Amino acid sequence: MYSVARNVKALAMVLAGGRGERLYPLTEHRTKPAVPFGAIYRLIDFVLSNLLNSGIHQIYILTQYKAHSLIRHLQQGWVITQPINGSFVIPVPAEMRTRETWYLGTADAVYQNLYLIRRASPDIVLIFGADHVYLMDVRQMIDYHLQTGADVTVATIPTPLEEASRFGVAVVDENRRIIRFEEKVPHPTSIPGRPQEALVSMGNYIFRTEVLLEELERDAQDEKSTHDFGKDIIPRICADRRVYAYDFRTNVIPGASEPADYWRDVGTIESYYQANMDLKEPLPRLNLYNPEWPVRSVRYHDPPAKIVVDHQGRMGHAENSLLAGGTILSGGYVRDSVIGRNTYIWSGAVVEESIILGSVEIKEGAKIYRTIIDHGNVIAPGEKIGYDHDRDRERYFVDPSGIVVIPRNPLY
């Protein structure tokens, strides 16, 4: 189908400087967009894949907090510069170009890099987050933005009302024009006729370039502003700008038979854990196996994962699980788990309902249950983790949801 988006010059600014404090300790040594996900990915891979698959080839990635592992990941798998056709995917560190401070908020991050927008002179600017898990054909959102004549378009998805207070909520009229925007209020407004749901912002915006420049300059002069898109700019401009809500559920990516309905803000340990567990289902709502819409990442030269007999003749066994390259399951048992690269699970070890981020060794007879294990850890023979939370708290981090997290080995 022909897309009017093809005739529009678009520049993407990906916000990748978040601390991700609620994901601690996974964010103790890395920024949130660099947190591993789904055995072989990082969170940022989803937004970058969506943009590139949608034909958006001019992308700046704005980094800040503990960005070393993120920048290394981008350099190994994402950095593109093609001067002939103007394509690029480039990380941009905080440079304090407009004020002698680090980024004060999401809007300030873009404001401090306005020179990049002016230099590119695009028709529209896409402001997308880097820490959500979803698949989206961005061209369809651009088409909607152009067809409505919007100054700003906000990607939205209906969400249960009891969860909506964690997000920005769009209140719309019958034409989906946003008349009010509520940022993380205790009692958000429900969708008319659907009292159990609210229309939640996905943190993805499309701006007409001149509108973005004007509003960022205006926000920068406001001493009371927190310089954030969701808290300040979007709520303020609803009264005098044409701000529309794009319905993410109408988005159909190539190779998919049904519209999109899966979006996760993995902002907490519990939501991160559940999003990983969603992948192990026989028919997951997030389809990573669609060749027409690949989720790209760094491609390592790992050997194949293998499941083998141990020295005692015991066969390794895995059920409903994802196993990344380089993993060896020798006489161990894995069920309902996501196993990252170069993980070794030895004879008699049991891993159930857990996430292993990679480069982990689980020795003979160890038992792991509902646990996230970060890089570089060695689990001793016979160790039990996830069965006694009082004992686990003495050694590791235990989330209020009951999920145990073993932080990254700082020497790794």
Residue 403's pLDDT is what?
A: 98
Neighbouring CB atoms inside 10 A of 179's CB total 11
* Cβ–Cβ under 8 Å, residues 84 and 39: no
Residue 2's pLDDT is what?
A: 38
Residue 98's pLDDT is what?
A: 56
* Cβ–Cβ under 8 Å, residues 178 and 205: no
CA–CA separation, 213 and 215 (whole Å): 6
Buried/exposed code over 84-106 (b: 16+ C-beta within 10 A; e: otherwise): eeeeebebbebeeeeeeeebbbb
Q: Which two tokens stand for residue 28?
A: 């103790």
Q: Where in the chain is the domain with CATH 2.160.10.10?
A: 306-406
Continuous segment of H or E residues that includes residue 52: helix 44-53
pTM of the model: 0.95
* Cβ–Cβ under 8 Å, residues 285 and 261: yes
4-278: which CATH architecture? Alpha-Beta Complex (3.90)
Residue 86's pLDDT is what?
A: 78
306-406: which CATH architecture? 3 Solenoid (2.160)
Residue 122's pLDDT is what?
A: 97
What is the pairing mode between strands 124-129 and 87-92? Answer: unpaired
Residue 221's pLDDT is what?
A: 93
CA–CA separation, 333 and 328 (whole Å): 11
CA dihedral 374, 283, 268, 73 (to 10 degrees): 50
**What average pLDDT values come out for the chain (412 residues) when binned by 10 residues?**
67 91 93 96 97 96 89 90 80 68 84 94 97 97 98 97 94 96 94 93 98 97 93 96 97 92 94 97 92 95 95 94 98 98 98 98 98 98 98 97 96 82
Residue 411's pLDDT is what?
A: 84
Q: Where in the chain is the domain with CATH 3.90.550.10?
A: 4-278
Spatial neighbors of 272 by CB under 8 A, at least 6 apart, are 23, 26, 35, 37, 266, 372
